[in-house]
Amino acid sequence: MTLRAADALRAAVLRLKLVLGEGAARDARLLLAGAVGVDVGRLTLVLPDEISPESLVVFEKFVQQRMNRQPISQILGKRMFWGREFEVSGDVLDPRPETETLIDLALQGGQPNRILELGLGTGCILLTLLCELKSSLGFGVDISDAALAVAKRNARALGVEKRASLWRSDWFSTVQGHFDLIVSNPPYITAEEMAELEPEVANWEPALALTPGTDGLGAYRHIAAGLDRALAPQARALLEIGRYQAGEVCTIFQAAGFGRLEVYQDLNGFDRVIEVKR
């Protein structure tokens, strides 16, 4: 018995609606496109065609994973960020569109010679900057060996591995030298907020990348303590923050001796990035 791709899609939407509600149709299309190996923008062209048994098996697996609330990016193993594809796994934080605010600000500041990212994850921040800033050198650290492996694969896939030095470190613990730009999207979700997260985040993304526990500010305290010795003269740091954390994060850096602080909003109007200068 043959089955058209359109019929498989229709059945999947009905199943996913039981769990996801209104997002079911969009997710089903993404999963079917991944299963049959076409861009989602071209999916309509193959819907009238018979779906192969092999693709149907893959699609069924994808649908079941999504019904278990696994994120689309983990199921497909990739996420677009700043127009480029990044490998994603359960060992790293899924790149968020809001983080592109940090990229935009970084690219407004001229050409830094040396860029450091603290807490690499996928490497989406550092590696995007290296793709955009062709003469910059990148340095990135993460405490997770599994996350470092993902970042290194992304560096190779994007062709910037020769300008990217990536290694294991607990924040600044093994970092030496000075940097013209330091960037980070550290864990900042409070222990209380963790209990309110969607299952896609709480059950599938690494807790280490989401929260430092307690008040969610521990990572900023670590960064503030080591920032002075790592910033080159006239350098700056750009750090992502939670939407309600600007005042508390500014207080932490002011207490560490940094008086030049600026807070920037994302496209939704929420506080998203703090800029720290000497």
> What is the rounded CA–CA span in Å between residue 141 and residue 170?
8
What does the pLDDT average to over 110-125? 96
Are 203 and 68 in contact, with CB atoms under 8 Å apart? no
pLDDT: is 70 or 2 the higher one?
A: 70
As a whole-number percent, the residues of the chain with pLDDT over 70 amount to: 100
> What is the rounded CA–CA span in Å between residue 67 and residue 17?
9
What does the pLDDT average to over 217-239? 97
Torsion angle, alpha carbons of 121, 122, 127, 132, to 10? -120
As a whole-number percent, the residues of the chain with pLDDT over 90 amount to: 96
Residues 6 or more apart whose CB falls under 8 angstroms from that of 119 comprise 141, 142, 143, 171, 184, 185, 186, 187, 209, 219
pLDDT tens digit string along 2-37? Answer: 799 999 999 999 999 999 998 999 999 999 999 999
pLDDT tens digit string along 82-112? Answer: 999 999 999 999 999 999 999 999 999 889 9
Are 141 and 175 in contact, with CB atoms under 8 Å apart? yes
